[in-house]
């Protein structure tokens, strides 16, 4: 069933998994890229540029916010979203740590099958 047995994994594994899960949808990747490119906050502009309804975009933003990757601030009648620098620092670090554990493919290793 779905009473996920997360208790047995390290905090770093759980945090990285949560971040990866938040990025595990093309729309959320696209949202992050849009927020990164125009550094200023884009509020409902996201809805205009995405092939999704307003409520769906709002939910995606909620998930990104829950993962600590995005911040939202109320700015008058609208809400101003931007990337959460602290969250992305964590993402960089945790993903970097993981990649550091993984051997990089060399030409020799690519020639011979690298399994077994």
Partner DNA sequence: ATTTGTTATCGTAAATCGACGATAAGCATT
Partner DNA sequence: AATGCTTATCGTCGATTTACGATAACAAAT
Are 72 and 79 contacting, i.e. CB atoms less than 8 angstroms apart?
A: yes
Applying the rule CB under 7 A, the residues between 71 and 100 that interact with DNA are: 72, 74, 76-79
Q: Does 116 bind DNA (CB under 7 A)?
A: no
- Which residues in this chain contact a second copy in the complex, by CB under 8 A? 4-6, 8-9, 13-14, 16-18, 20-30, 32-33, 36-37, 39-41, 50-52, 71-73, 75, 80-83, 85-86, 88-89, 91-92, 95, 98-99, 101-105, 109-110, 113-116
- Cβ proximity to DNA: between 78 and 92 the closer is 78
Task: Report the partner that residue 47 touches, choosing among DNA, a second copy, none (CB closer than 5 to 8 A by kind).
Answer: DNA
Residue 31 C-alpha from the chain's centroid: 10
Q: How far apart are CA 110 and CA 34, in angstroms?
A: 36
Q: Which two tokens stand for residue 64?
A: 């990104």
Cα–Cα–Cα angle for 60, 32, 42, nearest 5°? 85
- Read off φ and ψ for residue 54, nearest 5 degrees: -60, -40
Which position among 29, 53, 93, 109 is part of the footprint of DNA (CB under 7 A)?
53
Question: Contact between 21 and DNA (CB under 7 A)?
Answer: yes
CB of 78 to DNA, least distance (A): 3
Q: Give the Cα separation of 21 and 92 in Å (integer).
A: 15
């Amino acid at each position: 069933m779905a009473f996920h047995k997360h208790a047995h994994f390290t905090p770093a594994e759980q945090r990285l998994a949560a971040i990866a899960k938040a990025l595990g949808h093309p729309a959320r990747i696209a949202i992050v890229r849009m927020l990164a490119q125009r550094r200023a906050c884009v509020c409902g502009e996201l809805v205009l540029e995405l092939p999704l309804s307003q409520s769906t975009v709002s939910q995606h933003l909620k998930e990104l916010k829950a993962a600590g990757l995005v911040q939202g601030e109320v700015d008058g009648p609208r809400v101003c979203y931007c990337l959460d620098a602290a969250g992305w620092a964590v993402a960089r670090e945790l993903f970097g740590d993981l990649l550091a554990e993984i051997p990089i493919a060399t030409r020799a290793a690519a020639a011979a099958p690298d399994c077994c």
